[in-house]
């Protein structure tokens, strides 16, 4: 039996990408379009609060994302969906991409002898995770992207030449444009060129300062057609016994503190699904985690470590050989997680304070006998009253 059926237009959610050089009006245009779409709006802001500068003109909630990496961005998208925002503006997608490029460079040098191709085996799944989060969001998404900027020389009508700033390709992963239904390129003069439009209403049009009316037309088209019933996906019930499930949950939280490849999570989930996981296997996963560096946000700062080491000078740790060895190793490496440092601090509290060294004669001891008494001697070398 054939699976073909008559195609019908269904209601859809917007996936709009807005890109352009600095000053072209990407954030402002996104907010105006969202206002015209008339829905509960949230902004994930990686531009250090730039969207909030327009909060006197638009009504929206904001999540200022720092640091803006893919993991945090995906989590922010999930949080927005959970809070049921109809419209989500991501301003911008460029920062997460730049963070990923830096991570790839570090991986290439640390694990793949400078071979970036090998490092992308770990980077590509992260980029796919971001794309899937955008596509699966149950609401409209407007994402801004920075574009590379270049200066060219143009001739004016009077025959004179002047430098003109132009935007090039968006700063994001190759092929990102395929994931959006509409692509809007904005010039420094605030003209929007619609270079891709699946609605068919604006293809190849040049729109000056896209505004609320543009957003209203978009949402009218998106809401026309057959309504799509979204079935809530229920999470499968765990087949693990409660004790083992608790260990798995604990391990996942522990894994999130390390710079692990995506394959580590994939393999764990596969073993859980296939019911091959055991406590011994979970112990092995934990041991493997500790071979990778901790994520920066879980590492104690040098200042925190120095404060701890300074505190050790005021207590007597000679009776605690383990603490003594750990403090010596810490002083050499200056690297430790925040949680382990806190454990050392708690352990140091059980050590006694150092007794101050005795200076001079103790007040309870009798002064030594010298065999004579000191007497005042009158100086007769000069007559009294001369000095």
Task: Give the pLDDT band (50/70/90) at residue 105.
Answer: confident
Which is more confident, 371 or 241? 241
All domains of the chain in start order, with CATH: 15-223 (3.40.50.300), 242-289 (no CATH), 299-348 (no CATH)
* Distance, CA of 163 to CA of 153 (rounded, Å): 5
Closest by CA position to 60, among listed 77, 79, 45, 82 = 45
Residue 221 pLDDT > 80: yes
What is the per-residue pLDDT across 9-49, written as a single tens digit (0 to 9) for each? 788 899 999 998 888 899 999 999 999 999 999 999 998 88
DSSP tag of 176: G
Which is more confident, 155 or 125? 125
> In this structure, what token pair is assigned to residue 111?
């694990």
Q: What percent of the chain has pLDDT over 70?
A: 84
Nearest-5° Cα angle at 306, 304 to 309: 110
* Distance, CA of 64 to CA of 90 (rounded, Å): 10
Q: What pLDDT score was predicted for residue 164?
A: 56
Q: What is the mean pLDDT of residues 258-281?
A: 83
Q: If 0-12 CB within 10 Å is exposed, 13-18 middle and 19+ buried, where does residue 7 land? A: exposed
Which of 91-95, 100-104, 110-114, 320-324 is predicted with the least confidence, judged by mean pLDDT? 110-114
Q: What pLDDT score was predicted for residue 329?
A: 85
Residue 94 pLDDT > 60: yes
The overall pTM is greater than 0.85: no
Q: What is the mean pLDDT of the chain?
A: 81
Compute the radius of gyration of the chain from its Cα atoms: 33
* Distance, CA of 60 to CA of 271 (rounded, Å): 43
Q: What pLDDT score was predicted for residue 387?
A: 35
Pairing of the two strands 15-20 and 61-64: unpaired
Task: Give the pLDDT band (50/70/90) at residue 370.
Answer: very low
Burial 374-383 (b: 16+ CB within 10 A, else e): eeeeeeeeee
14: three-class secondary structure by DSSP: coil
Q: What pLDDT score was predicted for residue 79?
A: 93
């Amino acid at each position: 039996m054939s699976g073909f059926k008559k195609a019908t237009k269904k209601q859809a959610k917007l996936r709009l990408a807005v890109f352009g050089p600095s000053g072209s009006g990407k954030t402002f245009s996104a907010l105006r379009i969202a206002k015209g779409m008339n829905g509960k709006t949230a902004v994930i802001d990686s531009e250090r609060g730039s969207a909030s500068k327009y909060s006197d003109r638009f009504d929206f909630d904001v999540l200022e994302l720092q640091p803006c990496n893919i993991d945090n961005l995906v989590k922010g998208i999930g949080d927005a969906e959970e809070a049921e925002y109809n419209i989500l503006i991501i301003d911008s997608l460029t920062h997460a991409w730049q963070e990923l490029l830096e991570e790839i460079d570090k991986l290439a040098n640390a694990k793949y002898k400078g071979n970036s191709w090998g490092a992308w085996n770990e980077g590509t799944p992260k980029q796919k995770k971001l794309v899937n989060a955008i596509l699966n969001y149950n609401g409209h998404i407007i994402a801004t992207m920075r574009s590379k900027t270049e200066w060219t020389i143009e001739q004016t009508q009077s025959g004179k030449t002047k430098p003109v700033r132009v935007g090039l390709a968006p700063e994001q992963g190759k092929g990102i444009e395929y994931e959006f239904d509409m692509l809007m390129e904005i010039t420094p003069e605030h003209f929007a060129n619609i270079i891709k439009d699946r609605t068919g209403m604006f293809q190849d049009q040049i729109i000056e300062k896209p505004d609320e009316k543009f957003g209203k037309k978009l949402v009218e088209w998106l809401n026309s057609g057959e309504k799509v019933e979204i079935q809530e996906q229920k999470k499968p019930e765990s087949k693990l016994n409660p004790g083992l499930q608790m260990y798995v949950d604990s391990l996942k939280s522990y894994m999130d503190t390390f710079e692990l490849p995506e394959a580590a999570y994939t393999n764990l989930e596969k073993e859980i699904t296939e019911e091959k996981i055991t406590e011994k296997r979970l112990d092995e996963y934990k041991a493997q985690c500790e071979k990778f560096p901790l994520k920066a946000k879980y590492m104690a700062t040098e200042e925190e470590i120095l404060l701890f080491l300074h505190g050790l000078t005021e207590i007597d740790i000679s009776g605690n050989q383990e603490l003594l060895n750990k403090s010596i190793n810490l002083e050499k490496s200056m690297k430790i997680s925040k949680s382990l440092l806190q454990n050392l601090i708690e352990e140091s509290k059980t050590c006694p304070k150092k007794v101050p060294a005795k200076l001079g004669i103790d007040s309870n001891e009798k002064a030594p006998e010298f065999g004579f008494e000191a007497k005042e001697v009158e100086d007769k070398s000069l007559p009294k009253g001369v000095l």
